[in-house]
Amino acid sequence: MAATLVIEGGAKLKGEVWISAAKNAALPQMCASLLTEAPLILENVPDLADVATIGKLLAGLGTRITADGSGRMALETPGLVGHEAPYDLVSTMRASVMVLGPLVARSGRARVALPGGCAIGLRPIDLHLKGLAALGAEITLNQGYVEAQAQGLRGARIRFDLVTVTGTENLMMAAVLAEGTTVLENAAREPEVVDLAHLLAKMGAKIEGAGSDRIEIEGVKELGGAQHRILPDRIEAGTYLMAGAITGGTVTVRGAIRDDMPAVLAKLEEAGATLETGSELVRVVGPERPRPTDFVTAPFPGFATDMQAQMMTLLGLADGESVVTETVFENRFMHVAELRRMGARIETEGNRAVIRGVERYLGAPVMATDLRASASLVLAGLAATGITVVSRVYHLDRGYERLEEKLGKLGASIRREP
Ligand code: UD1
């Protein structure tokens, strides 16, 4: 029987919460272990289902992983014993495709299941493959698997047709061991891309420009070990800020890096929240009632698509009409139907959602459909009158570490039931 979260709404959240390390930085950084025989020490690794999934995948490829329970993880890949990312892992977590670049770079060979459709859209990996082909890999499709082979990769100029985060990371990891210079244009500028570049540089890679849309990589013969502390999770931080705002509470989010979340902070203020920022800290004081505002999701430094559902939930209680435009994923409004069951008035057409704010949400049984949609239902439950039961909590466990414990410490009435 899958777990549920039972939330009794109405408490104004108060206090301090510590943000875990970014899931979307931990996953590629763990994959970077495939690039070297030397040990990699990652600190602050979050205890999440997705981290366990990538660990399982890496173990099958020859990586020895030891974790001591304190967030410190040692990864060592003395030799590759496999070169495949099987369908059962890729289908539960698309980020598994990030073994492709490092495997081809280290051994000239990889076989990775095509992800197929996922709840929030088609999410193809054509740009990853096009880039690898430009680096000299031969790509074939066989039985739902992509097979890549190369006799040594060569640097190339690669211009992405659209901004892809894991695509940028995958090609960065392929290019670090390629012969010559690779230039990635229209590259993703997300903080997690920058953090991966920091780790790779510590391992001996030559990378310039991470954080801009042009990344230049000069290949090296081999990489060594490194020790790295993973950056805090800006999406988790943003979610707790929304939790403070939507309950009209006062929440200090420690580990929130202001510069990693400019658009979300700007929109929170437009919605009437008062913010105070410090070194790795953002404090929110929620408004009496949120004000309406429009926003458009976009690659960094734009408004993160991973915060869209949470912001929409806040605006669902605003005094007026807001319009949300989702430009990154084509099918990312699944939370809308569930929010409506709680009394929200939201209409969607294509990639636009029009929200007419209501005064309150009403508790209801709702079903989580994907990671961030689930977070939005929890937020709605915190603000709602009465009891909300969120089922399919495993979606939340992919990306939020000890969610009910952290919210509980802020004064929320929330408990997990089997
Ligand atoms: C990453 C994040 C995810 C976030 C997303 C957008 C990780 C592990 N996941 O996902 O949480 O929501 O960035 O910020 O870091 N696309 C193509 N072809 C490709 C690759 C992507 O058409 O080869 C499209 C996708 O369908 C999507 C858009 O590009 O419409 C952006 O996707 P992308 O940035 O690649 O998302 P992910 O890296 O999968």
pLDDT, tens digit (0-9, with 9 covering 90-100), for 217-275: 999 999 999 999 999 999 999 999 999 999 999 999 999 999 999 999 999 999 999 99
Residues of the chain above pLDDT 90, percent = 90
Q: How far is the CA of 379 from the centre of ligand 1 (A)?
A: 24
Residue ranges with strand state E in 114-256: 138-142, 145-149, 157-159, 181-185, 206-208, 214-218, 226-229, 250-254
Report angle CA 339, 341, 344 to the nearest 5 degrees: 50
pTM (global) more than 0.75: yes
Q: For the ranges 73-82, 210-219, 329-338, 344-353, which has the lowest average pLDDT?
A: 329-338
Q: Determine the distance from the C-alpha atom of residue 46 to the mean position of all C-alpha atoms in its chain, rounded to a whole number.
A: 12
Each residue's pLDDT tens digit, 103-142:
999 999 999 998 865 555 556 899 999 999 999 999 998 8
In this structure, are residues 350 and 343 in contact, taking their beta carbons and an 8 Å threshold?
no
Q: Among the atoms of ligand 1, which is closest to the Cα of residue 50? A: 8
In short, whether 127's Cβ falls inside 6 Å of ligand 1 is yes
Strands 40-43, 226-229: pairing kind: parallel
Average pLDDT over residues 35-40: 98
Q: How confident is the model at residue 2 (pLDDT cuts 50, 70, 90)?
A: confident
Among 57, 90, 96, 123, which residue has the most ligand 1 atoms within 8 Å of its CB, making it the best to mutate?
A: 123
Average pLDDT over residues 86-96: 90
Cα gap 314→240, rounded to integer Å: 12
Each residue's pLDDT tens digit, 165-193:
999 999 999 999 999 999 999 999 999 99
In short, whether 162's Cβ falls inside 6 Å of ligand 1 is yes
Residue ranges with strand state E in 160-202: 181-185
Can you name the residues that pair with 291 across neighbouring β-strands? Answer: none
Q: How far is the CA of 358 from the centre of ligand 1 (A)?
A: 32
Q: Among the atoms of ligand 1, which is closest to the Cα of residue 329? A: 30
Per-residue confidence (pLDDT) for residue 331, from 0 to 100: 81
